Amino acid sequence: MLSRINFFIMKKSIHPQYYPNTKVKCACGAVYEIGSTVESMEIEICSNCHPFYTGKQKLVDTSGRVDQFTARMSRAQQVSQSTKHKSKSDKKKALQQKRAQKDDNND
């Protein structure tokens, strides 16, 4: 019987501190109180604002990756349209001109 009791006792000084009233704050303004090993947390998406639960599409784009992608695709289309039906040397010249214009715009 004694061995069963020792099974449920936790060892001392190896577990992190447990905070029973941890506050979780979401970017949408919702605040939850849970138990955790961290005193407070800040999250970006919770069940109140997650698209799966709300049915609304919310684009999470923190670094502008969508804008970078669309700009890159538009430049690629411009280059491909300007170099259609040309020889390889003409295509290389056009590409070099585009790169030179891009470098001039960046300066």
* Domain assignment of residue 91, given as a range: 65-101
- Split into its structural domains, the chain has a count of 2
Do residue 39 and residue 12 come from a single domain? yes
22 contacts 44 by C-beta, under 8 angstroms? no
- Look-up: residue for tokens 């060892």? 11
**Least confidently predicted of 6-20, 37-51, 52-66, 84-98:** 52-66
pLDDT band at 83 (very low <50, low <70, confident <90, very high): low
Greater pLDDT, 67 or 31: 31
Mean pLDDT of the chain: 80
What strands, in cross-sheet order, belong to the sheet with 19-26?
31-36, 19-26, 40-43
Same domain, 19 and 48: yes
Task: Write out the DSSP string of 15-28.
Answer: SPP-EEEEEEEETT
Could you tell me if 12 and 37 lie in one domain? yes
Residue 1 lies in a domain: no
**pLDDT for the residue numbered 107:** 61
38 domain residue, yes or no: yes
